Amino acid sequence: MMEPLLEVRNLRKYFPVRGGFFRSLLSRRQMWVKAVDDVSFHVMPGEIFGLAGESGCGKTTTGKTILKLIEPTAGEVIFDGTEIFNLPPQELKPFRRRMQIIYQDPYESLNPRMNVFDIISEGIDIHELAGSTSEKEELVASALEMVELTPPEEFIFRYPHELSGGQRQRVCIARALVLNPEFIVADEPVSMLDVSIRASILKLMLKWKEESEISYLFITHDLAVARHMCDRIGIMYLGKIVEMGDIDRIIETPRHPYTQALMAAVPVPDPTAERTKVMITGEVPTPIEPPSGCRFHPRCPYAKEICKRETPGLVEVERDHVVACHQLEHSIHL
C-alpha cells in the first residue's frame, strides 16, 4: 500500500464575522463563517484529486489553507510524512518549494512591475537553486519551454501587461514549475481563459503528471473538466465534503442528492437524450449560520426529519466511494 503524498485531516477554517457596532451591542456572541468545516482527504503520489462545488463552498479556502497561505483554525496537513501546520517558518520553507499553487486569475497573480525573468527566477533566488547566473538563466528558459512559451528569449524580458491572458497563466505555471514541486494546488487554473487555450494547458498539466509525477489538488466548478483531469474527486457543499471517491464512479453513479443535481446541471450535447432530473431550488444558504443537521436539507428533495437533526457522516457505499447522506436508499433508484 502506497503512502499518500498529502493527507488532510479534519481541516477547519472559520473566519470571524465582524458585525456592525450596534450588532455588537445587541449580542455578545462572536459569529463565524465556517468556510471549511471538518474536511479530510488524501492525495496519492502522481494523482490528481479534484475538489468541486458551487462558488463559495470553500474549495479555494481549502486549497490555500493546506498551503498555510491562510492560517488554519484546526486540523492537520501531513505532507510526505511531516505535519506542516506546526512547523516554524524556517522549517516550512523547504515545503514551500515542494508544494506550489497556480491561481485562477492570471491578471492578479503577477506583479505588474516585474518582468517574466524576475517573476520566474524569484523562487530560484529564494531557495538558492542556482549556483550561477547562467545556471539561473538556463532554469528559467527550461521552465518557459515546459509551458511552451517559446522561444524563451522572446518572452523573458516582457512585462505582464505585454502578455495575453493565456501567456500570463503560462508564466504563473512556470513560476511554480521552476521549483520542481511534487504537489500543486491548481485553483481553477483555466476558468478565466479562452476555451481554445484551456485544452492545451490542461494537456500540459496531465503531461507533467505522467512525466514528473506531480500530484495536483485540482479545484474546479466544471465537472466536465474535472472528469477529464481527475483520478478522484471530492464534492463540497458549504464547507463540507458530501461525496468523495473515484471520479468515474461518482460521475456515473452519484449517490448524494447534491452531486446528482450538479450532474443534472451539466449540459448534454444531444437534445433528445433522456435525463434524470434532480432539481434543487433556492440558493446556497449563508455559511454564517449554516443549516442544522445535513447542510443540504433545506434544498434536498428527499429530506426527512433526521436530516434536520443529525449531521450525516461519510459512509462507504462501494470501494473508494463515500457519501454523507441519511437518505441513500432514495438516491440508489435513480
Partner 1 sequence: MALKRRLTDWRNRLVSSAFIFRHNRAGVIGLVIVLFFISMAIFAPFIAPFNPYERIDRSLLPPGGVYLLGTNDMGQDIFSELIWGARVSLSIGFTVALVVMFIGTTVGVVAGYTGGLVDEVLMRFADIILVLPSIPLMILIAAIMGRHNFYVMILALSVVGWGGLARMVRAVTLSLKERTFVEAARALGASGGHIMAKHILPNTAPLILSSVIYQAVGAMMAEAGLAFLGLGDPTAKSWGMMLHYAQTAGGWWGANGNPMWNWIIPPGLCIALVVLGLMLVGQAVEEIVNPRLRRRR
- Rounded CA separation 91/153 (Å): 35
Find the part of the chain contacting partner 1 (CB under 8 A) among 2-10, 16-24, 117-125, 234-242: 117-125
How many helices and strands in the chain, by DSSP H and E?
Answer: 13, 12
The CB-of-169 to partner 1 minimum distance in angstroms stands at 12
Task: Establish if 123 lies at the interface with partner 1 (CB under 8 A).
Answer: yes
Lateral strand order in the sheet of 183-187: 99-102, 183-187, 215-220, 48-52, 232-237, 240-246, 321-323, 315-318
Residues in contact with partner 1, shown as a per-residue x/- string from 179 to 218 under the rule CB under 8 A: x---------------------------------------
Which H or E element spans position 38?
strand 31-43
Q: What 3-state class would DSSP assign to 77?
A: strand
> 65, 109, 169, 215: which one contacts partner 1 (CB under 8 A)?
109
Task: Establish if 93 lies at the interface with partner 1 (CB under 8 A).
Answer: yes
Q: How many residues of this chain bind partner 1 (CB under 8 A)?
A: 31
List the interface residues with partner 1, window 45-64 (CB under 8 A): 64
Question: What nine digits make up the cell of 54?
Answer: 458551487
Find the part of the chain contacting partner 1 (CB under 8 A) among 5-13, 24-32, 103-111, 218-226: 103-111
List the interface residues with partner 1, window 63-92 (CB under 8 A): 64, 67, 69, 89, 92
Phi then psi for residue 137, to 5 deg, are -60, -40
- What's the DSSP call for residue 30? P
- Rounded CA separation 250/108 (Å): 34
59 near 219, Cβ under 8 Å?
yes
Task: Establish if 103 lies at the interface with partner 1 (CB under 8 A).
Answer: yes
Q: What 3-state class would DSSP assign to 130?
A: coil
Nearer to partner 1, 111 or 286 (CB): 111
List the interface residues with partner 1, window 213-252 (CB under 8 A): none
Residues that bind partner 1 (CB under 8 A): 64, 67, 69, 89, 92-93, 96-97, 100-101, 103, 105, 108-115, 117, 122-123, 126-127, 133, 137, 157, 172, 175, 179
